[in-house]
Structure 1
């Protein structure tokens, strides 16, 4: 259980922060950048939800919860020590990736195949989802960079990869099932 009765602790005043295992690292550490960007993404999903309704809002709510799981996973290094931990750390699971894939497939089934790249925009919800897509890609890049020199649960990276795809397809759904997509016209303004 989480209890937050004091918000400022002053423990980070010298530029360090604690990871989930208690280790202190610089606030600009690659691991902190990765889970910090997933937190930023979660905030953008919250903004997108202001324009979402029904099933889309429900799906975005699940994604927000997943992103907290993902941040908890990233902030806890030492995957090999999970079995020995007094409190087993929360880790992303394949089932979360599979759920995204299922939702992508369902949304994509009602869309016309694209004949051009899509520019971010159309409806307000679509524009917000495109912002989420780009921040998800940045979180993925930071997580793969972290994984190049530290242990990262592979489901984290797979989830972020699918999530950016999810946001792309959902942005098309938010544009009246792709009918109001803003398409790129190469060289249109020469």
Structure 2
């Protein structure tokens, strides 16, 4: 259970932050950057929720909760050390749910014949913004996983990869099921 009595603790005033296992890391550490960027993606998803359909909003609400799970997962490195609690981890079932929801939305869309420019409607533009932030989080997570003595679970990496796919499909779905998509025209302004 999370209990926040004080918002400021002063423990980060010297440029470090605490991880879930008690370690302190510099605020520029790639692990901190990864879960911070997951948090940023979550905020962008929250912005998108303001202008989507109830069906997509329900999906995004689940995703926001998952993104807190992902942040908790990344905040507690799997070092093999015994902890006083069971750390929260992303699991395959969360990835599978996201895949089902991608398929549900994508089933109502026509196949693409060009890349889509971010936009078309405010909801789609916000979803595209969330998608690009999720992609940045994914790049940081992959960088973290490649570092010696660092781990990121396979389900966490799958989840963040599927998330950007979901956000792309959802952006098309809220763009009148693709009818309002703005398509890229290569070399149009030459």
The interval holding the TM-score normalised by the smaller chain is over 0.9
Distance 2:67 2:89 in 1: 11
Further displaced range: 49-58 or 158-167 = 49-58
What's the counterpart of residue 49 of structure 2? 49
CA contact (8 A) 2:21 2:83 kept: no
**Deviation by residue 1:72-128 (Cα, 9 ceiling, x = unmatched):** 0000012534xx432100000000000010011111111110010000000110000
Gaps of 5+ in 2: none
Aligned to 1:67: 67
> 101, 104, 107: which is aligned to 1:103?
101
Distance 2:116 2:127 in 1: 13
The answer to whether the 8 A contact 1:79-1:153 is kept is no
Counterpart position of 1:166: 166
After superposing on structure 2, the runs of 4+ consecutive aligned residues of structure 1 that deviate more than 6 Å are none
Q: Write out per-residue CA displacement over residues 34-67 of structure 1, whole angstroms, 9 at most, x where no aligned residue.
A: 0000000011111001112311111100000000
Which residue is equivalent to 2:5?
Answer: 5
Q: Give the CA deviation at 1:189.
A: 0.7
User: Which of the residues 116, 140, 143 maps onto 1:142?
Assistant: 140
Q: Which residue of 1 aligns with 2:21?
A: 21
Tell me, which stretches of 5 or more residues in structure 1 are unaligned? none
Say whether the 8 Å CA contact 1:139–1:160 is kept in structure 2.
Answer: yes
**Are residues 1:88 and 2:86 paired?**
yes
> 1:52/1:79 Cα in 2 relative to 1: closer, same or farther (>3 Å)?
farther
8 Å CA contact 1:31, 1:75 repeated in 2: yes
Q: Distance in 1 between matches of 2:54 and 2:113?
A: 29
Match of 2:48, SS state, is helix
* Alpha-carbon distance between aligned partners in 2 of 1:25 and 1:86, rounded to the nearest angstrom: 20
Q: Which residue of 2 aligns with 1:114?
A: 112
Give yes or no for contact 2:105–2:169 (8 Å, CA) kept in 1: yes
Question: How many residues are paired up?
Answer: 188
Q: Secondary structure of 2:99's match? A: helix
What secondary structure sits across from 2:80 in the alignment?
Answer: helix
